[in-house]
Structure 1
Amino acid sequence: MTRLYVAARTHTGRVREENQDCVLVDAWVSARDAMLARSVELRPGQTPYVVAVCDGLGGHAGGAVASRLAAATLGATDWPGIDEKVVTERVVEAARAIQQVSDDVHGLRGLGSTVAGIALTATQLSVFNVGDSSVFRVMDGSLGELTRPDRRPDPHRAGATVLTQSLSVFTAVPDPSVATLAIARPMRLVACSDGLTDVVGTDDLRSLLAGEVGAPDGAREAVQRLIERALRQGAPDNVSVIVIDLVPDEARVPE
């Protein structure tokens, strides 16, 4: 068994008028500035527990619709496992759901969203992404990015980058980055939109995520610190963060 402590929050930021981000935590889907914090026991044989950050593409029609549709689709579909095939199929389903709305509703042509998420069982986890939302892991004081941003240099703007794929826009069928890891030791995981990573650097992320994994309110407090730092940095984009603390049964101290 593994104890999971999860917290999530999304914020419009300081500049945008609309929040085109959306967060998924199991069956909870939200695009409002509301904090979720809960603890869950992951037991062998249970349906995978899925979380994701979806970022509607700014400048595209219906970005908010796309992110919510992606989150709802990932949360509603059956996950028989978390191997690469299943994860890829579920992400492609989300892309197809967005594409269907884009094709059927004239005013919503060009829908698109990025996604970064984590599917968990009692013994393993799979991280996945399409676009430039990210998943990080903190373990033993070190911070590492587990996802691969789908970006390339912009040939028309020095120092700028452009997305190479997303859900629906740019690619008919996305090719998600998927990595499966064992849950053998306590770790902290973070899924976030680029509204966080564009303004909060790696060193600050490491500092803000420091703390005992599995401590009471630890995940919630980490989310608050990250959102507040992004806001102090001006938060020109929407900001969404999910923090998960994982503590396998063997690592817990008997009471």
Structure 2
Amino acid sequence: MTILRIAARTHVGRVRTENQDCLLINTWLSARDGTYAREQVLRPGEDPYVAAVFDGMGGHAGGSVASRVAAATLAARPLSDVEPGTITERVAAAARAVQTVSDDVHGLRGLGSTVAGVAVTATRFSVFAVGDSAVFRIAEGSVGELTVPDRRPDPHRDGATVLTQSLSMYTSSPDPAVETYPIVRPVRLLICTDGLTDVVAADDLRALLAGPIGKPGVPEQAVTDLTAATLKNGAPDNVSLIVLDLVPPDPREPSR
């Protein structure tokens, strides 16, 4: 069995008046600003545990609707496994749900959402993302991004970028580029919206995520510290983040 320790927070930031992000942790969805912390045992044969962040887009009304519709669709039923095809199908279903709302509800045309997340079993985890939310792995004092932002330079604005895909009416078949990794040693993952990465430098991420992997309370402290750093740096956007530790059985210990 694998021990999972997880903590999360979503915050409106210092500039926006509404939080259009959404957190999904298994079947729990955030309602506006919120926090979450839990420890759980992952056993072989159980349904995958899913954690993800969603960053809504589409104006004052549309962004919050899009992120919550996408999150609710992903949470609607358990994943059967962490295979790329299974996750891609569920992400595509989330995009179709957002598209349906965009088509059917007056005033919400053009809404959308990014997503970044992980699906975890007792022996492996899969990483997926659409848009510019991200997943990072923290190991041996380094922080490595496991996702590639779906961004390209904006031809109309110097130095700006635009999304190349999202969960929206403009992306009929999103490609989450799922990657799967075995859990062979303790690992820490950070899942976050660009409200964090746009204002907190990589060196600061590494320092604030450097606590002992697997130690109780460290994910909660990391979430608190990362949120504080974002707010200190102005937090012009909503910020949502999840820190989770995965601790597999020690192979040196006899099985029970």
TM-score (norm 2): 0.96
Instruction: Summarize the alignment of residues 1-255 of structure 1 with structure 2, pairs less than 5 Å apart.
Output: 1-57=1-57, 59=59, 62-250=62-250
Aligned amino acid, residue 40 of structure 2 = V
Query: Residue 59 of structure 2 contacts residue 111 of structure 2 at CA under 8 Å; is this kept in 1?
Result: no
1:118 alignment partner, SS class: strand
Query: Residue 61 of structure 1 contacts residue 109 of structure 1 at CA under 8 Å; is this kept in 2?
Result: no
**Distance of 1:228 and 1:127 partners within structure 2:** 26
**Distance of 2:42 and 2:196 partners within structure 1:** 28
1:181 alignment partner, SS class: strand
Aligned amino acid, residue 216 of structure 1 = P
> Matched residue pairs, number?
254
**Distance of 1:140 and 1:43 partners within structure 2:** 26
Shift of 1:111: 1.5
- In angstroms, what is the RMSD of aligned CA positions? 1.5
Q: Deviations over 1:43-100 (max 9, x none)?
A: 0000000010000015475110000111111111331111110010010010011111
Query: Residue 58 of structure 2 contacts residue 111 of structure 2 at CA under 8 Å; is this kept in 1?
Result: no
1:214 alignment partner, SS class: coil
**Distance of 1:216 and 1:50 partners within structure 2:** 20
**Distance of 1:162 and 1:61 partners within structure 2:** 21
Q: Which moved more, 1:170-179 or 1:234-243?
A: 170-179
**Distance of 1:58 and 1:205 partners within structure 2:** 29
Q: Deviations over 1:159-186 (max 9, x none)?
A: 1111000001431121112100000010
Aligned amino acid, residue 166 of structure 1 = S
Query: Residue 199 of structure 1 contacts residue 233 of structure 1 at CA under 8 Å; is this kept in 2?
Result: yes
**Distance of 1:89 and 1:97 partners within structure 2:** 12
Shift of 1:155: 1.1
Q: Deviations over 1:5-46 (max 9, x none)?
A: 000110000000010000000111003322211000000000
**Structure 1 stretches of at least 4 aligned residues deviating more than 3 Å after TM superposition:** 58-61, 251-254
Shift of 1:232: 0.3
Structure 1: 5+ residue runs without aligned partners? none
Shift of 1:196: 0.3
Aligned amino acid, residue 47 of structure 2 = T
**Distance of 1:25 and 1:91 partners within structure 2:** 15
Q: Cα gap change, 1:109/1:251 in structure 2, threshold over 3 Å: closer, same or farther? A: farther
**Distance of 1:251 and 1:54 partners within structure 2:** 36
Aligned amino acid, residue 77 of structure 2 = T
Among all aligned residue pairs of Structure 1 and Structure 2, give the percentage whose two residues are the same amino acid: 65
Q: Which moved more, 1:60-69 or 1:172-181?
A: 60-69
Structure 2: 5+ residue runs without aligned partners? none
Query: Residue 101 of structure 2 contacts residue 108 of structure 2 at CA under 8 Å; is this kept in 1?
Result: yes
